[in-house]
Every structure is written in C-alpha cells, then in structure tokens.
Amino acid sequence: MAFHPNIRAFLVITLLTTIQTVKAQSDVADVPPMGWNSYDCYSYAVNESEVRDNARFMAKNLKKSGWKYIVVDYIWSCPRLNPDFAPNQNDSMSPKLNMDSYGRLLPDVARFPSSANGLGFRPLADSFHKHGLKFGIHLMRGIPRQAVAAKSPIADTNFTADQAFTPKNPCGWLNHMWGLDMSKPAAQAYLDSIFRLYAEWNVDFVKVDDLSNPYSDAEIEGYRKAIAKCGRQMVLSLSPGPTPLDAGPHVSQNANMWRLLGDLWDTWPQLDEAFKPLAAWTPYRGPNHWPDPDMLPLGRLRKFGPNTGPANTDSRFTKDEARTLMTLWCISKSPLMFGGNLPETDPYTLSLITNGEVLDVNQHSTGNHALIQGTKPIWIADQSDPHIQFVAMFNRTSESTTSTLLLSDLGIKTAKVRDLWTHKDLPIASGNLTVQLAPHASVLYKLYVTEAAEMTESAPQSLDLKGTSYEAESSDNTLSGQARVVDDAKDGKCSGGKLVRFIGSNPQSRLKFNKIMADHDGDFVLSIVYMSGSARKMNLSVNDTPPISLDFPSTGGWDGNFLDIKVVTVHLKSGQNTLEFGNPTDWGVDLDRIVVSAK
C-alpha cells in the first residue's frame, strides 16, 4: 500500500554514516535505553543495599517489559553525609573522595561494601549481569582535584595528573573535579586509564555530567575515544542540558544519549517545556544516538534529596500528566530512565511502565516526529508494517479541549483504531480522528489502515534514464554547511558508489550543481535520483532564481538499495547553468545524481 506523498513530512533522518564511522557506538543502543537511575530518589547518597533492592524489583517485574539498566548516579566515591545534598569539598579537600593511587575514583566502601579490597563495582555489575540486567555509573567530567594536588601518576604512562588538568571553566555546582585540557596528551591518557578500569568492572553505561552545557567538543571526543580503546562497549550519556541544537552533527557522532533539558522534575511547566526541544531534535534521532529529555520523575521520589519538592513522597504529576509524560517519551523514542524508588512504585505508575503496547512504540517504531505543534500537538510514527501507524494527541492547555486529526494528512481514508493505553479497539475512523482531552491529557493510538487516500503523484519506476548525468558527489559541485559526500552502503546501487547526505535543516546546508549544460534556451526534463526513508521536501533554485518547493515521497530507506526518481521540468539557458538543492528549516533527501534530458 502506498501513502499520500505528503505523508509524514519532516521525519527523522537516520544518520547511518555516523554509526559506520564511530565503531564504538555500533549496536550498543540500537533502541532507546530503558532503565533505572538512582538520582531522583537518592541524590548522591544511594547505597549498595538500595541499588540491589531496585535491581531485584526490575529483574522480577520489569525486565520482561524491556527494562534492563541499573545506573548508580552522582559521586559514588563520596561518603554519605546528612543533610548536605551537594557535598562540595573545602580547602582541605574534605570530604575526601575514595581514590586509588592512579587518581581514579573508587566507590565509597561504607556505601558499597562489595567494592572493598580494590574490587570496585565489578561484584555489583556481575551480580546484575547474572539476572540479565546491565550496570551503569555516573561521572563528573574531568580529573579529581585530589589527584592533581597529589600529582598522582596516570596508570601505564609516565604522566601525572597535574599534567592533564586545566583550572579554566570548572563545574559551577560541584567542585570535586578540575577540567581536562585535551590539548595535553596526559588528558586523553587519564580518560583511557579510567575507562580501562570501568571495563574491568564490566560497566555497560556511563553518564558523564557537566559536559553538554556548556558543550565541550574536545572532551566529548576524548570520552568516545577512551570507550573505543577500552575493549568494552558502553552507552555514553551526556548531561545536563540543554545541549545546543547546532551541536547535533557532532553529538550524534560521539554520544548515544544527550540531554535536551536541565533536570526534569515532577511539575507540569517543566514537562510542558519538553515538547519544543523534542520536536526540534528530530533530525538527530536514530539508532545509537537518542536525544534525551531526562529521567522519568515518577513513583516515590526524594527519599534522600535532592531538595526539589516534598521529601519521600510520590510524584506530583496527576495521572493524566504522568500518562502524557510516558506518551511523549515513547512516541518520540526517548530513552526511558525511571527515577523513582522501584520497590515503592504505586500500581498506577507500574501500569504505565509495563504497558507492552506503549513500550513497543518507544522501542520499535520509526519516523517519529511532530506532525502538529502548538498547544494541541500531534505526533506520528510508523511501524514496519505499512498498514500501521501510531498517533499521539496531546492537550498542553489547562482547559478541556477537542483535538482533531485529518486522516488525509497521513494518506489515510479509513482506519481501525486501537487505544494502546486502555488496550481497547475503538470504532473505525473515517475522514478524521477526533478526541476529547482533559487538561494535560493525551492519547496514544495504533491505526490499522483499511483504505488509503488516493495518490496524487507517482515516481517513475525505471532508473534507466536517458540524458546527461551529473553525479551529486562531483568535484564540480559546491557543498556547503553540513552537506557532505558519503559512501553508499555495501552492494548499494548509487552510481559511483557515493551520495550526498545532510542537505537541509538550516539555510547553509546545500548542494549546488555548477556545470549543468544546455544546448539552447528552453524547458528540460530534470530527473532527480534520490533516496529517503521518509517523505521530505526540498527547495530547488535554478540559476539562483527564487526556489521552488518539491515533494519527495519516501523510497523506503537511506542508501542506494532504495533509489527512486523525482521528475520535474526546469527552464535552462543556453550554456552553463546551476541547480541548487536545500531546505532552510527541515532535512531534505539524499541525492545520488541528476539527469537532464530534452523535453
């Protein structure tokens, strides 16, 4: 079945070349990670018993739903102090952090008894692995001030810690660490040394704090390189946000998760703030690189800080708001890291995080994006079955409202509707889908398409084109902004084995063909050979004239095995002409070549 060519405009671009070039990221987070993080209920003070309690609950109640990461957050090397929730060190560097002779932080033994005798987190990690779970830790970026002051040797090198640090740009809210000066060889050597240690501990997930805002290119690359060298795959998560959007190309090449917001807590204004950045980051969402709007502040929170609301109480979200949080995170394929104390999870919250039909959207849908933004957003996503689509409809206002989706916008005439939250089949929808939404409420539907809207245009089926062919990767062309030449997939059908990717998303990223020849003034047939895993738009400017907008239906994939053709008529002058492709706001398609022939 074919959908309308305007279906699912502005869908996510899957950055396949990123995954191919950053080997350490390969398959480590092919779907959004799902797990538990200790911070929202224990701040820095979580102990081994509490971590094990949460792991047992996950193994028994959540693992079958896909939850698997147990992450110990925030300064686990520090002794537990009460009631100080941000234990900065004084001039004597008290409280002392537990550290080995090589300047590498170790778990506080009083809080994590199994780490005694230099074993670190290995016993804890191994115990979780036996139950099919994975283990993660939190790091503050940089190198401990204690290590710098002691001039600690860096393991397996002739460097010392004082040769790696910089006093510039220290963390503004915790003073345990100096920054790393990545122009010094000792800095990378230190990162390599700590990740060799984490590999020995069998760590699966590392969250590095104070690294995304302000954004630190060189340090982020340093962490990625250290993971690549350590011999063990690890998810690399960056915190806190907001990560600057213009860092998208870089962060998606180097991190598996990165924060879009500051710390998210259980208030509607903060949740409401997530809609806009989640939509804006759509071009960078895909396997092994997931924009992260932060943890799920659900269930029992603040058992031991942080001081962001009433201590040791359940989330302040209403039931509708909690469901909206899960709906938005799932339809946007965001990482799911639960923040509450799992053994105290209330039945309603437990029903939200074990709803298999909803979690399937988070883990296995594609093309997730906001179709409509504003106060009544609508998000949509696809499934591998072309007859199935997912639709999420939200009410961001404080009043009850009606929300309507025109099915024709999705290339659909009629569809069966299933409510994924209630597990109920609803009446067949025809023409439109209308719902009543309470304040801050949402719905998440699966549509089984029974009749598609009529197609309004079709692409030629043959790639055997007559005319003069111009390769997108030719050195005669001009690439600007993020647009660049990449290799086609193995056994792909792109002529020359190359294509041009990352056209659009901003005014600068364009591809310009500079030497298009015509033997007379007049109209010519332009065949654009392209690929795209979703429907897109691109602007075409001929000889620098005002651009025209072109619709490109999905070809079904992002390499030369999914080539198709868009045919348009262009007016050329006798002699040399230019053709420029771009899109100032949304991602365009990937181009293999263009062919110009007489009309």
CATH of the domain at 288: 3.20.20.70
| In-domain check, residue 368 | no
Q: What's this model's pTM, rounded to 2 decimal places?
A: 0.74
The whole-number pLDDT of residue 452 equals 84
212 and 335 in a common domain: yes
In this structure, are 299 and 161 located in the same domain?
yes
Domain co-membership, 432 together with 542: no
Q: What is the pLDDT of residue 85?
A: 61
Q: Which pLDDT score is estimated for 12?
A: 32
412 and 310 in one domain? no
Domain count, the chain: 3
Q: Is 117 exposed, middle or buried (0-12, 13-18, 19+ CB in 10 A)?
A: exposed
Confidence (pLDDT) at 84: 59
Residues 64 and 124 in one domain: yes
Residue 59 lies in a domain: yes
The confidence score (pLDDT) of residue 493 equals 87
User: Beta strands 143-144 and 177-180: pairing type?
Assistant: antiparallel
What confidence score (pLDDT) does residue 553 get? 82
Concatenate the DSSP letters of all residues of 340-407 into one string.
S-GGG--HHHHHHHT-HHHHHHHHH-EEEEEEE-SSS-EEEEE-SSTTEEEEEEE--SSS-EEEEEEG
- Asked if residue 26 is part of any domain, the answer here is no
Q: Residue 558 sits in a domain of what CATH number?
A: 2.60.120.260
Same domain, 543 and 503: yes
Whether 14 maps to a domain, the answer reads no
pLDDT at 26 (0 to 100): 54
Would you call 272 exposed, middle or buried from its count of C-beta atoms within 10 A (0-12, 13-18, 19+)?
middle
Q: Confirm whether 191 is domain-assigned.
A: yes
pLDDT in the model for residue 424: 97
Whether 90 is in a domain gets the answer yes
Taking only the tens place, the pLDDT of each residue in 341-386 is 999 999 999 999 999 999 999 999 999 999 998 889 999 999 988 8
Residues 357 and 384 in one domain: no
Domain boundary among 334, 362, 390: 362
Q: In this structure, are strands 257-259 and 235-238 parallel, antiparallel, or unpaired?
A: parallel
Q: Do 483 and 594 have their domain in common?
A: yes
Strands (E), 95-224: 134-140, 143-144, 165-166, 177-180, 205-209
Domain boundary, last residue among 452, 485, 516: 452
> What pLDDT, on a 0 to 100 scale, did the predictor assign at position 169?
86
Residue 409 is predicted with a pLDDT of 86
Query: Same domain for 194 and 261?
Result: yes
Domain boundary among 338, 362, 386: 362
Residue 218 lies in a domain: yes
- Do 206 and 319 lie in a common domain? yes
Residues 383, 344, single domain; the answer is no
Instruction: Give dist(CA 516, CA 533) in Å, integer.
Output: 28
Q: Which residues of the chain have pLDDT under 50?
A: 1-25, 455-461
Domain residues for 384? Answer: 374-452
pLDDT score at 466: 84
547 near 591, Cβ under 8 Å? Answer: no
> Residue 459: its pLDDT value, please?
36
DSSP three-state, residue 195: helix
Same domain, yes or no, for 316 and 446?
A: no
Cis before 214? omega within 30:
yes
Asked whether residue 16 is domain-assigned, the answer is no
User: Residues, the chain, total?
Assistant: 599
